Amino acid sequence: MKFSVIIVTRNRKEDLQVSIEGYLKQTYPDKEIIVVDNQSTDGTREMMANHYPDIKYLWLPDNFDIRSINIGIEMSSGDVIWRTDSDSHPESEHTFEQVKEIFEQNPHIDIIATEDIEVRKGNQPWEWYPLPIDKNNVPKDGFKANFFPGTGAAIKRKVYDTIGGFWEFGFEELDFCTRAIVAGFNVRYFPTIRTLHYASPQDRDNPNRWVKASKQHIRYNWRYFPFSKALGRSFQIFFYQIIFGLINRLPIISIIEGMLGMLEMMFYTYRNERAVVPKDKLYDITLGVSVAYTQYRFFKQVIGNKLRRMWKS
């Protein structure tokens, strides 16, 4: 079983080096690292040539955002695609051995979601999983999941070969998992497999990032949910995204752009991209959790982080 680590980067030379070193420390021998560079101008090309000449590296003349991961996958030859970011790597040097053992003992598992540890937030886990669980008592086949953090996930190549790759930035992991679940694949969450996420501040407060994410959230809902559910969920998404923009003090012009973009995306997706999920799969793609509850948990973490930063300052 060969692992292909796919890293997409852009102007994150120092973070990328930390990430690469973390993967080079993996004791599992049958692995490859592939770096796809979205037009970096910070010396990443020179660093890769001078320090990592044996790593597959492709510099792109344009920025194709996260979609470049699909180029990396096409360049790879592994049985397992390891989805990661350029500011992340596994905590344990034996992670790939652990993942291989899980796949071999549980042939029905196709995607493994890992625990995202936010290093710059006191090594606290990102509590993305929406259901109450006992992380100290993980079933041998993990917890049923509908998503994986992009910082670290193991994906069998047959999933990619069957459903295709990732769409552009914004809820791309959720969209990928939804298509995988509908196609009959299984996603499982293992909080015992921990990924260190250094959360590079590069572009994280970019208003354009918020606009894109808002539009993609609407796109996801109108692509997969029945009309009435998509409409109800969209009203909530509009409300929460605007509140999030205001909390982060985004320019009013960006908030207006996001609102208009969400409306435009709603009509475009309804007319061109509808792929409504069968009723018997709706629970599987949501785990029975509402948009309101998901957003409540998200805002709770955002506000908590802001209060902690204020307290430290």
Q: How confident is the model at residue 248 (pLDDT cuts 50, 70, 90)?
A: confident
Residue 202 lies in a domain: no
Are residues 140 and 168 both part of a single domain?
A: yes
Are residues 181 and 213 both part of a single domain?
A: no
Query: Is the predicted pLDDT of residue 203 greater than 70, yes or no?
Result: no
Are residues 222 and 308 both part of a single domain?
A: yes
Number of domains in the chain: 2
Query: Is the predicted pLDDT of residue 302 greater than 90, yes or no?
Result: no
Are residues 62 and 121 both part of a single domain?
A: yes
Are residues 149 and 33 both part of a single domain?
A: yes
pTM metric for this prediction: 0.92
Domain end, chosen from 177, 197, 217, is at: 197
Q: How confident is the model at residue 231 (pLDDT cuts 50, 70, 90)?
A: very high
pLDDT of residue 205: 57
Q: How confident is the model at residue 200 (pLDDT cuts 50, 70, 90)?
A: confident
CA distance 171 to 169: 7
Query: Is the predicted pLDDT of residue 253 greater than 90, yes or no?
Result: yes
Residue 251 lies in a domain: yes
pLDDT of residue 151: 96
Query: Is the predicted pLDDT of residue 309 greater than 70, yes or no?
Result: no
Domain that residue 241 falls in: 207-312
Lowest-pLDDT choice from 8-22, 168-182, 199-213: 199-213
Are residues 216 and 187 both part of a single domain?
A: no
Query: Are residues 244 and 210 in contact, defined by beta-carbon separation less than 8 angstroms?
Result: yes
pLDDT of residue 108: 97
pLDDT of residue 103: 98
Are residues 241 and 171 both part of a single domain?
A: no
pLDDT of residue 199: 84
pLDDT of residue 198: 93
Neighbours of 23 (CB within 10 A): 22
Q: What is the CATH number of the domain that holds 23?
A: 3.90.550.10
Are residues 241 and 165 both part of a single domain?
A: no
Q: What is the mean pLDDT of residues 33-43?
A: 95
Are residues 212 and 73 both part of a single domain?
A: no
Are residues 140 and 279 both part of a single domain?
A: no
| Percentage, residues of the chain above pLDDT 70 | 94
Residue 48 lies in a domain: yes
